[in-house]
Chains A and B, each alone.
Chain A
Amino acid sequence: MSRRRGAIGLGLVVLGALIPYIGLHLPWVLPSTVNVVNSTGTLTVLALCFIFAGVALGYDVIFGYTGLLSLGPVMYFATGVYVFDITLTHWNWPLVPALLATFATSLVLAVVLGAIALRVSGIAFTMVTLAFAQAFYYLIEDNPHGLTGGDTGLALYSSRLPAFMSGAVSNTRNLYWIALGFLVVSYAVVWLVTESATGHVLVAIRENERRLEVLGVHPFRYKLAAYTLSSLVATGGGVAYILLIGTAVPSAVASVTVTLSILIMVVLGGAGTRWGAVTGAIVYVYLQQYLLKVAAEPSFASLPAFLRVPLSQPQFLLGAIFVLFVIFVPGGVAGVVVRRRLRVAAERFDAASATPSNTVQEEP
């Protein structure tokens, strides 16, 4: 079973890596205006899907596995975007020191702020992480010393960046592979951690933290580790994002809306499962871009206002889908699949045990 799933995963990654070579014309399904699979627009959207899938995976470690509703992931995503952008663009650092500085900043922020936020639990933790993320957003908007560019944003421009990584249209294919690579690495890291002994402690924290304390385990360290891991993954996503998109704008990379999108992705796909988070993120980003494309169609403008206004707002549609999912499909897509698998297994078990149990009853 596990080997089969591994093979499917590997097949999907290979397929993903080959997509830039597929020049297929696919009308209706693609999210960009050019209906060709390896067009720049489609590759960019797919790369965005992969980036957010990786970030959602990292977030699933703290939310799905550990059961802590953090509203802070955007802060670490924005750290990846801005520290990388600032060190390259303003300070003209070479690539490797810039990367190291980005992840070091994220690590320090995550350990310090995580330790403060984890002093409280439950709802208060959620509120505190939200407040920190919002403070970070204000800081970026403030444009301290002209570093972040404030509302106008900061374009990534550096002669030190290797040529194949620069934002030129001809390089979209390379950036797409970087995004896919980021997703594969985050999947591997999250897989290793969640299947390890530490991962089991995280699930135990979610299920019954008090019991764990009685057993002599200090949950705080594990919670902080989970928080830090998911933060570092989000930072990686931020780096891939700024390479791909080329401009950092606070409303797109640092506002609370980004956190909520990541949360929605994980919940839609199924919290606490790896492929659920990945599926949720890919479907979410794809749908968001696709809905924008539909709303921009000329024929769309002829719809009556009561249809056109709601349908032109991806935020409305995705929010509404999310509410329906939470009420009617708890556990997300993964929950549906797992429940079906359990039912099939139960039926098989019943069928298998039907004959022996009959004989037992007939014996006396």
Chain B
Amino acid sequence: MNVFLALTFSGIALGAVYFLAASGLSLIYGLMDILNFAHGLFMTLGAYVAWDVASHLPASWGAPLLFVIALVASILGGALAAGLTEVIIIRPLYGRPIGQILVTIGLDLAVVGLLLGGFGSNSLSVPVPLWLIEASHVGGLSLPNSDFVALVAGVIVLVSLELFLRQTRYGITIRAGVENRDMVSALGINVGRAFTLVFVIGGAMAGLAGLLYAVVFSGDLISPTQGDSLLIFAFIVVVIGGLGSIRGSAVAALIVGLVQDYANFYLGSHPGMAEIGNLSVVLLLALVLEWRPRGLFGSTL
């Protein structure tokens, strides 16, 4: 039972990271009909900016402070990369949806290639406080502290995103745009600004997801291609949750995280089944599509 509870906890933490990666993707798709392949790149860039900033600051500042700065840097790095992408290469292609997908693919390949050339394919280590590697004891369970960080970050982002989308003028514009973009621009509201804004928000969450994924699940290591592998799971979460729905992304992220975690533990130890966690997630996707092609919370497709 304890094992099951511990697994559930780490599955939820994994789901929190998937949520951060997927919600921006879902929002961008909902508003702009773009399948943003560069989202994986934003995750990778967030992690690399964080690494770069943290490794240039004096170690005497102490690991906890450096880690907080790295978290902020990953958010800003992802947001900046996404904002520039939208303004420079997405904007010239409004009205050409396939073209927009293709440029994000090209951008991802090009910049990942650049990172591979600049940093090599080997992983780099992000400095983290010792506390993060340790575990806390809660009611007889030993739970990794890094999982708590991911969980707290996921909850904060979910709550603030919901508040932003429901309470602020910009948020309401975005939601209206997801519902009916033509109507919003017919009312004289500048939808172009909302496009840039969702990219910046999505990029910020992606950057954070990139760093947290490294800290929580890959032993503080970052590599140029990590974002691309995380992106596939983000896609799966978005399709299962329903394109354009933040709540759908949150629920689907939890389900995907849990399924992957359980499958890895209970089945992955058998020979030749090391990848069963990843496979089970794809199987889940196929089942959901058979049963409900528009996803759990999707309205139309």
Contacts and interface: CB of A to CB of B under 8 A. Distances in A.
Interface of A: 69, 116-117, 119-124, 126-128, 130-132, 134-135, 138-139, 141-145, 256-257, 260, 263-264, 267, 309-310, 312-320, 322-323, 326-327, 330
Nearest to A315: B113
Contacts of A256: 228, 232
- The 8 A-B pairs of least Cβ separation, nearest first, read A319-B110, A315-B113, A316-B113, A319-B109, A322-B106, A135-B282, A323-B106, A138-B275
Interface stretch (B46-54, B159-167, B175-183, B235-243): B235-243
The residue among B29, B92, B117, B290 with the most chain A CB atoms within 10 A of its own CB is: B117
Given A123-B33, A131-B232, A135-B279, 16 more contacts: A120-B239, A120-B289, A123-B35, A127-B35, A127-B236, A138-B278, A138-B279, A139-B275, A142-B274, A263-B102, A309-B114, A310-B117, A322-B106, A323-B89, A323-B103, A330-B99
Contact of A313 (B117, B275, B289): B117
B289 A119 contact: yes
A309 B106 contact: no
Contact of B89 (A135, A143, A267, A327): A327
Nearest to B287: A116
B239 A316 contact: no
B86 interface: no
The winner among A139, A317, A323 for most chain B CB atoms within 10 A is: A323
A72 B35 CA distance: 16
B261 interface: no
Given A315-B116, A326-B103, A131 B109 contact: no
A310 B115 CA distance: 9
Interface in B51-108: 89, 92-93, 96, 98-99, 101-103, 105-108
B112 A139 contact: no
B293 interface: yes
A258 to B, nearest CB: 12
A127 B239 contact: yes
B275 A130 contact: no
A145 B272 contact: yes
B286 interface: yes
Contacts of B29: 123
Contacts of A121: 301
B85 to A, nearest CB: 11
A133 B23 CA distance: 23
Contacts of B243: 123-124
Interface of B: 29, 33, 35, 89, 92-93, 96, 98-99, 101-103, 105-114, 116-118, 228, 232, 235-236, 238-239, 243, 272-275, 278-279, 282-283, 285-286, 289-290, 293-295, 301
B236 A144 contact: no
A141 B113 contact: no
Contact of A142 (B112, B272, B283, B289): B272
Given A134-B232, A313-B116, A323 B272 contact: no
Most chain A CB neighbours (cut-off 10 Å) among B96, B239, B279, B285: B239
A323 B110 contact: yes
A145 B116 CA distance: 33
A116 B286 contact: yes
Given A116-B290, A139-B275, A319 B282 contact: no
A124 B301 contact: yes
Contacts of B232: 130-131, 134, 256
A76 B267 CA distance: 27
Contacts of A267: 102
A141 B275 CA distance: 8
A120 B293 contact: yes
Contacts of B301: 120-122, 124
A128 B289 contact: yes
B114 A326 contact: no
B290 A312 contact: no
A320 B116 CA distance: 15
Contacts of B235: 127, 130-131
B272 A143 contact: yes
B216 to A, nearest CB: 20
Nearest to B268: A142
A316 B273 contact: no
Contact of B108 (A69, A138, A319): A319
B118 A327 contact: no
B123 to A, nearest CB: 16
Contacts of B118: 309
B101 A69 contact: yes
A326 B93 contact: yes
B289 A116 contact: yes
A180 to B, nearest CB: 29
24 contacts: A69-B98, A116-B289, A119-B293, A120-B289, A122-B301, A123-B35, A123-B101, A124-B301, A126-B35, A128-B286, A130-B232, A135-B283, A141-B275, A142-B272, A144-B273, A260-B105, A264-B106, A317-B110, A317-B113, A319-B107, A319-B110, A320-B106, A322-B102, A326-B93
